Structure 1
Amino acid sequence: MSEYISPVPVPAPGVQPAEIYREIYGMPMFVTVPTGDLAASKDFWIGGLGFVDLFSVPDRVTHLRRWAFQDVLLVPGEPAGAAPAVSVSFACVLGQIDEIAAACEKLVPGCASGPVDKPWNSVELEVVTPENARVVMTAARPLDPDGPQAAWMRDAGIEVPRP
């Protein structure tokens, strides 16, 4: 098995989330979200979704981050209409799902739906942000090596370690 290099912790009972990563790196992927109210959007993403303001250029851009490779750029512009224009998923750990849902609901009541258990062995919370972006916070469940997800993965040719 190759070296595990993901910032996402391996799913396990009581696993702790990764630390916020504040170093500068070449971003392999990021999302740009236009907003009509940069300050309100920044407050929601930080207070609700758990991002930090890595840096801001007033009235131009706010670079937000959670874990390594979870970067969002908020920029002035027209937010999406009635349907979300962007949908993005961010990894978290199971212990954060309810906390994130409560924080988002406190800031914008009715913005969160779920969490929902998914057949691909995750729990997902859907949040619609003030600028109408669809954000899915997804937490992997510990994999039961004898469960149906592990069997499906083996059938697909994916190595599933046994304890």
Structure 2
Amino acid sequence: MADYFNAFEMSPVPDGPDAVAPDPFLGIYAMPMFVKIPTRDLRASTDFWVRGLGFVDLFSIPGQIVHLRRWAFQDVLLVASDGDATPSGASLVQVFVSCVLGQVESVAEACRQLSPDSVTGPYDTAWRTRDIAVVTPEGAHVTFTAATPFAPDSEVARDFAAVGIFAPGDSGGGA
């Protein structure tokens, strides 16, 4: 059995049903992970990611690359591409972005204003999140996902405990 431990303190994702989203993180750091997405229309893609999905243009090299960011460790690089953004046989780009419950509807509405058919949801998942699925102008599939309130006596909590994932402070060993 793995020795899991509670490490929520290192996450930039705020917790709780009334959590407030942090401002975009503008610091420069060595990115532990990022997504690189090719696009034929750098300007249109940047506009959608900024006005629809709430990212900021951290920096750009005109006509080549745009470094987008929301919270710490939510980095996306849009890169100019002359060819097909998804070469034959390649899989679609699929990105999952954490947000807070209060942002789900506003992000969905902002994206619908830019592209009416770009959003599916919101919908709730079995692992206690409320999500929206968005298809961006360059064809990336972006899911915004927010935790819903955790009920320690719920079926979800029992399902998590059955696979060794316990709520913080639970006597089962999760804290």
TM class, shorter-length: over 0.9
Aligned residue identity for 2:140: A
Give the drift of 1:162. 5.7
Percent identity, aligned pairs only, is 48
Flag structure 2 segments of 5+ consecutive residues without an equivalent: 1-5, 171-175
Flag structure 1 segments of 5+ consecutive residues without an equivalent: none
Residue identity opposite 1:124 in structure 2:
D
1:80 aligns with 2:86: yes
With 39-48 and 150-159 compared, the bigger mean Cα shift is at 150-159
Equivalent residue letter for 1:50: G
- Following superposition, the deviation at residue 80 of structure 1 comes to 3.2
| Secondary structure of the corresponding residue to residue 74 of structure 1 | strand
Aligned residue number for residue 155 of structure 1: 162
For the structure 1 residues 40 and 84, does the alpha-carbon distance in structure 2 shift closer, same or farther, using more than 3 Å as the test?
Answer: farther
Match of 1:50 among 39, 48, 54: 54
Query: How many aligned positions are there?
Result: 162
Write the mapping of 1:62-81 to structure 2, written as runs, cut at 5 A.
62-77=66-81, 78-80=84-86
Deviation at 1:3, TM superposition (A): 6.2
Shift of 1:36: 0.7
Instruction: From 26, 31, 34, give the equivalent of 1:30.
Output: 34
Would you say 1:92 and 2:105 are equivalent positions? no
Contact kept, 8 Å, 1:84 with 1:134, in 2: the verdict is: no
CA distance in 2 between counterparts of 1:95 and 1:41 reads 24
Cα pair distance change 1:65/1:143, threshold 3 Å: same
Equivalent position of 2:173 in the other structure: none
TM-score for both structures, normalised by structure 1: 0.93
CA RMSD of aligned residues (A): 1.9
